[in-house]
Amino acid sequence: MNRDWIATARTLSEALPYLQRYSGAVVVVKFGGNAMGDDQAMAEFARDIVLMKQVGMNPVVCHGGGPMINELLGKLGIESRFVRGKRVTTKETVEVVEMVLSGLVNKRIVQAINDAGGRAVGISGKDDDMMVCEADDPELGFVGRPIEMNVQIIRDLYSAGMIPVIAPVATGMEDNETFNVNGDTAAGAIAGALRADRLLLLTDVAGVKDGSGEVVTQLHPDQVRAMIAEGTIAGGMIPKTETALKALDDGVRAVVILDGRVPNACLLELFTEHGAGSLIRSTEPRVKPRGLRQGDTGL
């Protein structure tokens, strides 16, 4: 008997408790970073999402697209400027942002999921007024902060067997302006409105690291706040952890910050005892039931 076949069968058997635990669960996945520009990584991500749907989960994909936006702006001779890590979005820039996110990037992800055997539908935060925003900061121009979420369209799609793929472009409260929304912020707002079981923030680092550079696998919100205050969490990890804390406040059961460059990162997190990256949750870990990661006691 081929040893690889035996190992595959054993892996599937060991995943059973996780498949049962996540049946019917809503999992919002923020996809972005370098993996978006790599065809193989895109295909692997798409297969993971299709598998999640196939085993009874309700995956919802929200994506970014910063590198692609920068590339097209450069070709058009439009300068990219950032304030505190966020893109300054002028009226001219927001048109390019919407074209890239709702068009090029969104449809590329949709096609990858469809090629993997899924049924993906691409939408943006403007569809059915799903995400309504106000200006986040006058200095940033047309960068939005979600203030009203209407997520019935997402529920309708996944209830019909579809996989929603959402571009973080939103409608304004006044004059129907178009707003660019940070991908992590959008994913957090969507997860909160859906009261998702999990929000997975795929990034280009292994997770939240402590003072010695080691990844912290489980965190309580109080620990996160303390690490931000003391400077252990810094730079680009601050907005990600702040998104996680806001999502927990809005009703998301747990948030995981993990490395999207790792093959099958979503499956490692959801279907193995060790998990992947840093899990942030409001409840303290309890005694681990057989077959589940510490603190995962069911829905």
Binding site residue list for substrate: 65-66, 87, 180
Question: Is 223 in contact with 277 (CB distance < 8 Å)?
Answer: no
Opening angle at CA 193, ends 189 and 197, nearest 5: 95
The secondary structure of the chain in percent helix, strand, coil, rounded to multiples of 5, reads 45, 20, 35
Question: Is 114 in contact with 53 (CB distance < 8 Å)?
Answer: no
Distance CA 111, CA 117 (A): 10
Question: Phi then psi for 248, rounded to 5 degrees?
Answer: -65, -40
Tokens of 96: 């390019």
Q: DSSP secondary-structure letter at 271?
A: H
How far apart, in Å, do the first and last CA atoms of the chain sit? 38
Point out the annotated binding site.
65-66, 87, 180
- Kindly provide the residue ranges of all beta strands, DSSP E only, lying in 155-291, ordered along the sequence: 163-167, 169-172, 178-180, 198-203, 218-219, 254-259, 278-280
Q: Give the number of other CB atoms < 10 A from CB of residue 181.
A: 28
Question: Is 167 in contact with 102 (CB distance < 8 Å)?
Answer: yes
SS3 257: strand
Opening angle at CA 104, ends 102 and 108, nearest 5: 105
